[in-house]
């Protein structure tokens, strides 16, 4: 949950949305929540009205870049989350960065957790930016370069000289590198990168992750907000979400002495995602099976080794990439996210350096990354009204590619359900 850099600048954003029409959405900085209160049988007993002023964006940015004769628009945004039951606890733990060189671009998102999650995600951002700017290692071995960034973050954080306690704090990471007309991706945790294209690849590198069980049940709260662009856009997931209940991840955790269970409410109902616990203790409760830092998790099989993928850039067909924290992906399927970006990106403002300060955010005064984050926050608000939980930190980087008139090819190689 955190901050974002562009050319080593921090990028962050934050807002709430109310919809006027499907083609013009405006997001207000204030909202009135009507939170449902339920009895012990989970039946509606009363409603609580809460007036909420949403935090201002940490930063918003949109710039044009040229990489190896490829023109791109790169935008980034971070919106701090809100704890509905503790409005003073609004420390954003996301960090996002955009690092640009003449031959490459690196986009990254870190989602911190624990008491020192903010410090850790910011620390990882600084290490990552420095790596990209100061070395040419990616030219020889892009995968090794990305792996080295993540391992260096982990090693440096666990060194006492970092002065950051990582006993029960850590961060996810998703790194997206564009170099030599190829996308390279490395990730730990459940932050995700997705490519939007008009022509599906021969094979999809990663099986699409659907919304988790709880989010599927809540999807009706905002299903009418989905849009359909004129152009058919196909999402290609470029990173694998690493969750404790994944069969391979589960085996490693159990062999390391951990247990994987969901929380149980006072009525014995399972709630929330699968989490990692010590065998005889209800700690640490991690909802991801890989991350940077978190020494307690490390003892239970939570590793910092990233999973890597690559895919060639298909100029004329590939439209954009979204690199984002779970603040986006917990309320958007891959398909809904790429549809939203495609529907609004040409309507959005370009060349932004900072939040406009407008009380209403809309396509005419902000970039596409900001708009996507605002839409996500609106969807979180729908969830909060149902369960009185929290609005998660929300961050993303969107890279739009120069598109030709690539012929749209329809074939049977469609994404699996949930993508």
Q: What is the CA radius of gyration of the chain?
A: 20
For residue 258, tell me if it sits in a domain.
Answer: no
Alpha-carbon gap, residue 36 to 387, rounded angstroms: 7
String of DSSP letters for 343-381: HHGGGS--S-BS----SEE-TTTS-HHHHHHHHHHHHHH
Q: Which residues does the chain have with pLDDT short of 50? A: 1-22, 404-419
Q: Which domain holds residue 83?
A: 2-242+306-401
Q: Which two tokens stand for residue 138?
A: 């990616």
Query: What is residue 412's predicted lDDT score, i.e. its pLDDT?
Result: 35
Query: What is residue 24's predicted lDDT score, i.e. its pLDDT?
Result: 63
DSSP state of 220: G
Q: Which residues of 276-294 are buried (b: 16+ CB within 10 A; e: fewer)?
A: bbbeeeeebbbbbbbbbbb
Q: In 3-state terms, the chain is what percent helix, strand and coil (to 5)? A: 25, 35, 40
For residue 416, tell me if it sits in a domain.
Answer: no
48 and 404 Cβ atoms separated by less than 8 Å: no
Alpha-carbon gap, residue 59 to 276, rounded angstroms: 33
Alpha-carbon gap, residue 124 to 108, rounded angstroms: 10
Alpha-carbon gap, residue 69 to 83, rounded angstroms: 45
String of DSSP letters for 96-127: EEEEEETTEEEEEEEEEESTTHHHHHHHHHHH
Question: Which residues have C-beta within 8 Å of that of residue 28, sequence separation ≥ 6?
Answer: 15, 16, 17, 18, 54, 359, 360
Query: What is residue 165's predicted lDDT score, i.e. its pLDDT?
Result: 97
Q: Which two tokens stand for residue 90?
A: 């609004």
For residue 114, tell me if it sits in a domain.
Answer: yes
Question: Which residues have C-beta within 8 Å of that of residue 115, sequence separation ≥ 6?
Answer: 165, 168, 169
For residue 272, tell me if it sits in a domain.
Answer: no
pTM of the model: 0.89
Q: How many domains does the chain have?
A: 1
Alpha-carbon gap, residue 286 to 316, rounded angstroms: 41
Closest by CA position to 154, among listed 176, 194, 186 = 186
The CATH number for 373's domain is: 3.60.40.10
For residue 365, tell me if it sits in a domain.
Answer: yes
Alpha-carbon gap, residue 380 to 83, rounded angstroms: 11
Alpha-carbon gap, residue 294 to 60, rounded angstroms: 30
For residue 408, tell me if it sits in a domain.
Answer: no
SS3 297: helix
For residue 273, tell me if it sits in a domain.
Answer: no
Question: Which residues have C-beta within 8 Å of that of residue 314, sequence separation ≥ 6?
Answer: 197, 199, 201, 406
Query: What is residue 271's predicted lDDT score, i.e. its pLDDT?
Result: 81
């Amino acid at each position: 949950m955190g901050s974002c850099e562009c050319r080593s600048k921090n990028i962050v954003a934050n807002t709430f949305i109310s919809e006027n029409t499907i083609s013009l959405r405006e997001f207000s900085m204030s909202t009135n929540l009507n939170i449902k209160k339920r009895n012990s049988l989970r039946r509606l007993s009363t409603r609580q009205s809460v007036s909420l002023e949403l935090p201002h964006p940490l930063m918003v940015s949109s710039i044009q870049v040229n990489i190896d004769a490829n023109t791109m628009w790169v935008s980034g945004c971070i919106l701090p989350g809100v704890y509905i039951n503790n409005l003073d606890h609004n420390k954003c733990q996301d960090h996002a960065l955009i690092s640009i060189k003449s031959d490459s671009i690196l986009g990254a998102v870190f989602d911190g957790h624990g008491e020192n999650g903010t410090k850790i995600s910011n620390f990882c951002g600084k290490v990552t930016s420095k790596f990209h700017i100061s070395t040419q290692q990616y030219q020889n071995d892009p995968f090794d370069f990305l792996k080295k960034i993540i391992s260096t973050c982990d090693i440096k954080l666990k060194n006492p000289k970092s002065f950051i306690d990582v006993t029960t704090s850590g961060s996810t990471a998703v790194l997206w590198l564009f170099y030599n007309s190829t996308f390279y991706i490395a990730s730990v945790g459940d932050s995700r990168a997705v490519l939007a294209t008009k022509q599906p690849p021969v094979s999809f590198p990663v099986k699409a992750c659907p919304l988790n069980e709880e989010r599927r049940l809540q999807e009706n709260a905002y299903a009418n907000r989905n849009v359909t662009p004129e152009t058919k856009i196909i999402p290609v997931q470029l990173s694998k979400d690493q969750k404790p209940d994944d069969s391979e991840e589960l085996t490693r955790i159990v062999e390391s002495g951990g247990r994987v269970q969901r929380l149980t409410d006072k009525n014995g109902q399972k709630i929330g995602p699968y989490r990692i616990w010590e065998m005889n203790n209800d700690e640490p409760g991690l909802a991801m099976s890989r991350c940077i830092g978190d020494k307690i998790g490390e003892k239970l099989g939570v590793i910092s080794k990233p999973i890597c993928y690559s895919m060639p850039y298909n100029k004329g067909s590939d439209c954009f990439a979204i690199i984002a924290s779970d603040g986006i992906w917990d309320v958007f399927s891959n398909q809904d996210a790429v549809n939203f970006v495609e529907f609004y990106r040409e309507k959005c403002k370009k060349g932004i350096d900072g939040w406009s300060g407008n009380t209403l955010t809309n396509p005419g005064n902000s970039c596409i990354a900001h708009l996507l984050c605002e839409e996500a926050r609106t969807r979180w608000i729908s969830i909060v009204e149902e369960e009185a939980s929290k609005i998660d930190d929300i961050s993303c980087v969107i890279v739009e590619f120069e598109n030709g008139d690539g012929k749209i090819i329809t074939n049977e190689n469609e994404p699996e359900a949930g993508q």
